[in-house]
């Protein structure tokens, strides 16, 4: 840290540099009049100790594993264990996806992540009229416990951790996973993983919708309450900025809306009289790693510092485990281009590096072909190897939070934090995130940012290689296609399950869920009993839809 | 002579796909270009989209799909339009659509497909150059 008396000298030095700069630009003009991040945050050409002169190391940065966790949540970070390499995968039916899981594990993946097809995401079975044309296309079809058993066949569920990107029907997929583990002889205290289970960001951005906000939150709090007591190693909500960002938000909006969603969930759990220091350690987060390298690192460092403060000061939680913001990162799908697709490997590498320097706990790297379809095995292989090269060759994991103390990175971390607090205060003024969503506030902010960005690309103000600069033709690349036989097989299996199960028991379980939903009993035990009898996903969701009503996207633009 | 009326466009999201960034950006881009734009919102069945298009008397339907289900949903919509005698409505689409799927979609009556990287201006120019106002 620079002492006060040294700043005079520093300012003089900067003045001299500015003069030199003016002279230099009179000969060779600067590349741009204004430099800004991909989120359009204006940045200076040079940062000095003056930009961080109020930064108190102990209060704002500190040590890894200590409040406010700016430098990371564990004392050892990657010196102890590398981040979990967790590739988001799901294609066709459960057999195909099981094969892909095993392929990735064989090649060094260290955690699983399930991508479900749209009907499952939205609470419909593969035989629903709503599922026409969609089965197995955008992820794996899971209709019943049978599919879940096949999905994890030969994969010991006490030895892997599994993340499931599932929202409106999260409690049902968690129930299926618990019972699939049971059938392997693994009890629910031994399993570990994550359900996304974050409906607020669905209303804001990802838009897999089923029930209105309030019953959606009730189901989420049911899973939090149940897991806190019975599935202690399960991450109950993955509070997600990823989809908010991909929908067009800036880095600051992603950060602010995600933390505001987190605040809403903590409040809902407290309203249920749950003990904050029992449930909060199992809340996790999920962020995007976009293409603007330093902005992303600063965002992730700011996120940890802000959540620690929110948990400690706003909610008065006592346990340091509640203060830690643990997160998964995915590189930015939206930054990839269909043009010259091999360039996507380079983009993903830079983004993955930002995630690592930002201290992520787990990481998915996108494949080069994802602007066309679900990744081929070869493309997923390269994406996984990208992480392994970063982890084991480049040396970036050999020291903790290496960018701490950078005048620029610390100043940017402060700036992003300040701007994000402003949004959080605004949402507090609107009465919290549920009310803000009702008013369309975050949705409109994101749509505005998305439109501005598109205009910047169209005008060439922002560069996208292969799209608005260095444009060339490119030969087609191999892409994954779904074998149409997969849909037929899925429908046949579902039909067989429905005819061989005990349908009287299924009806009884559905009736119990209905009564439970009409009252205020925790629905998780009832759902677990129902899926054990091969009740389908949609049968349970239909009961939810009847009892709670549905939610329709307002369709603003 | 009455001034030429504005082109009316329905931007629609068929199927269960929730990715609406592109649909909303293009809806706004078309509006700023002077078209009249109606947006269906998400999760529309082909039947709902065709009914809305007819009811709103649009000249163009712009479909957006990022789920891979375009190969079923887009042709289903053009088929329903033919059944309703409304196949003079110009159907265009965009999204995550492999280039090799485009000829098949064209054959089914989808007049143009705009893949990722399309500038708003390009789509606007296409509509101005190709869409005939309906009677």
**pLDDT greater than 80 at residue A3:** no
Among residues A227, A186, A120, which one has the least CA distance to residue A523? A227
pLDDT in tens, A92-146: 999 999 999 999 999 999 999 999 999 999 999 999 999 999 999 999 999 999 9
CB A537 within 8 A of CB A123: yes
Chain A hits for B121, CB-CB cut-off 8 Å, are: 458
Q: Which residue of B lies nearest to A451 if distances are taken between CA atoms?
A: B25
Residue A329 has phi, psi (to 5 degrees) of: -130, 145
ipTM of predicted complex: 0.92
Q: Which residue of A lies nearest to B45 if distances are taken between CA atoms?
A: A130
pLDDT in tens, A226-245: 999 999 999 999 999 999 99
Average pLDDT over residues B22-50: 97
Contact across the interface for A373 and B96, Cβ inside 8 Å: yes
C-alpha A364/C-alpha A86 separation (Å) is 5
pLDDT in tens, A509-524: 999 999 999 999 999 9
Contact across the interface for A121 and B16, Cβ inside 8 Å: yes
Average pLDDT over residues A463-475: 95
At A214, which CATH number?
3.20.20.240
Instruction: Using a CB–CB cutoff of 8 Å, tell me whether B79 touches chain A.
Output: no
Average pLDDT over residues A286-301: 98
Token couple for A128: 């629903």
Radius of gyration of the CA atoms of chain B, in A = 14
**Per the domain annotation, does A333 fall within a domain?**
yes
Instruction: Using a CB–CB cutoff of 8 Å, tell me whether A319 touches chain B.
Output: no
Average pLDDT over residues A143-153: 98
**pLDDT greater than 90 at residue A5:** no
Out of B24, B29, B98, name the one closest to residue A479 (CB).
Answer: B98
**Per the domain annotation, does B121 fall within a domain?**
yes
Higher pLDDT, B2 or A173: A173
Contact across the interface for B98 and A482, Cβ inside 8 Å: no
**pLDDT greater than 90 at residue A6:** no
For strand A234-235 and strand B90-95, is the pairing parallel, antiparallel, or unpaired?
Answer: unpaired
CB A140 within 8 A of CB A113: no
Instruction: Using a CB–CB cutoff of 8 Å, tell me whether A124 touches chain B.
Output: yes
**Per the domain annotation, does A507 fall within a domain?**
no
Q: What is the pLDDT of residue B116?
A: 92
Out of A129, A207, A372, name the one closest to residue B20 (CB).
Answer: A207
Q: What is the pLDDT of residue A229?
A: 97
Instruction: Using a CB–CB cutoff of 8 Å, tell me whether A463 touches chain B.
Output: no
Chosen from B11, B18, B56 to mutate, greatest number of chain A CBs within 10 A: B18
Out of B68, B71, B117, name the one closest to residue A338 (CB).
Answer: B117
Q: What mean pLDDT, rounded, does chain A reach?
A: 97
CB A466 within 8 A of CB A472: yes
At B37, which CATH number?
3.40.50.280
pLDDT in tens, A189-215: 999 999 999 999 999 999 999 999 999
Q: What is the pLDDT of residue A557?
A: 87
Average pLDDT over residues A311-326: 98
**Per the domain annotation, does B91 fall within a domain?**
yes
C-alpha A548/C-alpha A520 separation (Å) is 12
DSSP string, A259-309: HHHHHHHHHHHHHTT--HHHHGGGEEEEEEE-S-HHHHHHHHHHHHHHHHH
Average pLDDT over residues A417-440: 98
**pLDDT greater than 90 at residue A556:** no
- What is the signed CA dihedral for A139, A141, A145, A148, rounded to 10 degrees? -40
* Domain count within chain A: 1
**Per the domain annotation, does B3 fall within a domain?**
no
Give the contacts of A321 (CB within 8 A, at least 6 positions apart).
A277, A280, A281
Instruction: Using a CB–CB cutoff of 8 Å, tell me whether B103 touches chain A.
Output: no
Contact across the interface for A137 and B121, Cβ inside 8 Å: no
Chosen from B14, B21, B100 to mutate, greatest number of chain A CBs within 10 A: B21
Q: What is the pLDDT of residue B3?
A: 59
Instruction: Using a CB–CB cutoff of 8 Å, tell me whether B21 touches chain A.
Output: yes
**pLDDT greater than 90 at residue B78:** yes
**Per the domain annotation, does A159 fall within a domain?**
yes
CB A386 within 8 A of CB A348: yes
Average pLDDT over residues A284-302: 98
**Per the domain annotation, does B99 fall within a domain?**
yes
Out of B25, B67, B99, name the one closest to residue A134 (CB).
Answer: B67
* Domain count within chain B: 1
Print the domain residue range for B60. 8-130
C-alpha B19/C-alpha A206 separation (Å) is 7
Give the contacts of A79 (CB within 8 A, at least 6 positions apart).
A397, A398, A399, A400
Among residues A480, A491, A527, A363, which one has the least CA distance to residue A90? A480
- Residue ranges of the alpha helices (H) in A28-161? 94-106, 118-121, 145-151
**pLDDT greater than 90 at residue B8:** yes
Q: Which residue of B lies nearest to A249 if distances are taken between CA atoms?
A: B21
Q: Which residue of A lies nearest to B116 if distances are taken between CA atoms?
A: A338
Token couple for A479: 């892409």
Q: Which residue of A lies nearest to B67 if distances are taken between CA atoms?
A: A138
What is the sign of the dihedral through the CA atoms of A239, A391, A77 and A46?
negative
Q: Which residue has the tokens 């940012």?
A: A449
Give the contacts of A178 (CB within 8 A, at least 6 positions apart).
A188, A191, A231, A528
Out of B21, B76, B117, name the one closest to residue A248 (CB).
Answer: B21
Band of pLDDT at residue B1, cut at 50, 70 and 90: very low
- What is the signed CA dihedral for A221, A222, A224, A230, rounded to 10 degrees? 170
CB A316 within 8 A of CB A275: no
Question: From residue A553, how far is each of A165, A207, A215, A451, A542 by CA, in Å?
Answer: 20, 8, 16, 19, 19
Band of pLDDT at residue A7, cut at 50, 70 and 90: confident
**Per the domain annotation, does B81 fall within a domain?**
yes
């Amino acid at each position: 840290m620079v002492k006060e008396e040294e700043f005079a000298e520093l300012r003089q030095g900067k003045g001299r540099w500015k003069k030199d700069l003016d002279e230099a630009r009179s000969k060779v003009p600067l590349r741009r009049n204004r430099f800004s991040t991909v989120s359009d945050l204006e940045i200076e050409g040079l940062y000095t100790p003056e930009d961080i002169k109020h930064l108190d190391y102990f209060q704002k940065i500190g040590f890894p594993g200590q409040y406010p966790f700016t430098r990371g949540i564990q004392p050892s970070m990657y010196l102890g264990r590398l981040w979990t390499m967790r590739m988001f995968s799901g294609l066709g039916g459960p057999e195909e996806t099981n094969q892909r899981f095993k392929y990735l594990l064989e090649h060094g993946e260290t955690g699983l992540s399930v991508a479900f097809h749209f009907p499952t995401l939205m609470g419909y079975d593969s035989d629903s009229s709503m599922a026409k044309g969609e089965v197995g296309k955008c992820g794996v079809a899971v209709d019943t416990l049978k599919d879940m058993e096949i999905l994890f066949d030969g994969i010991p569920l006490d030895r892997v951790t599994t993340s499931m990107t599932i929202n409106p029907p999260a409690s049902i997929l968690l129930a299926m996973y618990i019972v699939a583990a049971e059938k392997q002889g693994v009890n629910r205290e031994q399993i570990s993983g994550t359900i996304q289970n974050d409906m607020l960001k669905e209303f804001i951005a990802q838009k897999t919708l089923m029930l209105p906000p309030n019953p959606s939150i009730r189901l989420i709090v049911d899973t939090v309450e149940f897991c806190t007591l019975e599935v202690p190693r399960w991450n109950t909500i993955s509070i997600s900025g990823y989809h908010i960002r991909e929908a067009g938000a800036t880095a600051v909006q992603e950060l602010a809306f995600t933390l505001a969603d987190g605040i809403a969930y903590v409040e809902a759990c407290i309203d249920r009289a749950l003990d904050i220091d029992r449930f909060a350690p199992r809340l996790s987060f999920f962020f995007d790693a976009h293409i603007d390298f330093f902005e992303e690192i600063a965002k992730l460092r700011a996120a940890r510092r802000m959540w620690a403060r929110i948990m400690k000061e706003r909610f008065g939680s006592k346990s340091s485990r509640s203060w830690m913001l643990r997160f998964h990162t995915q590189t930015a799908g939206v930054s990839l281009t269909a043009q010259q697709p091999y360039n996507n490997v380079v983009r993903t590498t830079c983004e993955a590096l930002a995630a690592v320097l930002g201290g992520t706990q787990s990481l998915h790297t996108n494949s080069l072909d994802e602007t066309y379809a679900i990744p081929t095995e070869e493309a997923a292989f390269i994406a996984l190897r990208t992480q392994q090269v970063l982890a084991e060759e480049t040396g970036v994991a050999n020291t903790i939070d290496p960018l701490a103390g950078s005048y620029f990175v610390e100043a940017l971390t402060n700036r992003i934090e300040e701007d994000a607090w402003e949004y959080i205060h605004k949402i507090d003024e609107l009465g919290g995130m549920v009310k803000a969503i009702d008013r369309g506030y975050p949705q409109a902010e994101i749509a505005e940012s998305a439109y501005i960005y598109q205009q910047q690309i169209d005008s060439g103000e922002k560069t996208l290689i292969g799209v608005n600069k260095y444009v060339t033709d490119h030969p087609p690349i191999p892409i994954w296609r779904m074998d149409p036989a997969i849909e037929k097989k899925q429908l046949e299996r579902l039909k067989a399950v429905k005819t061989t199960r005990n349908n009287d028991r299924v009806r009884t379980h559905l009736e119990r869920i209905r009564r439970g939903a009409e009252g205020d009993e925790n629905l998780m035990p009832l759902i677990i009993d129902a899926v054990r009898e091969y009740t389908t996903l949609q049968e349970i969701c239909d009961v939810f839809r009847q009892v709670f009503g549905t939610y329709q996207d307002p369709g603003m633009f | 002579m009455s001034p030429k009326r504005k082109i009316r466009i329905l931007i629609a999201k068929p199927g269960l796909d929730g990715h609406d960034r592109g649909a909303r950006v293009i809806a706004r881009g078309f509006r700023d270009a002077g078209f009249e734009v109606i947006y269906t919102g998400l999760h529309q069945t082909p039947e709902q989209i065709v009914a809305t298009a007819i009811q709103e008397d649009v000249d163009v339907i712009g479909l957006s799909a990022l789920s891979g289900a375009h190969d079923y949903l887009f042709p289903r919509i053009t088929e329903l339009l033919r059944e309703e005698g409304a196949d003079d409505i110009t159907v265009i689409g965009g999204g995550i659509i492999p280039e090799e799927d485009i000829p098949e979609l064209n054959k089914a009556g989808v007049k143009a497909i705009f893949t990722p990287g399309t500038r708003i201006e390009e789509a606007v120019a296409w509509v101005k150059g190709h869409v005939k106002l309906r009677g």
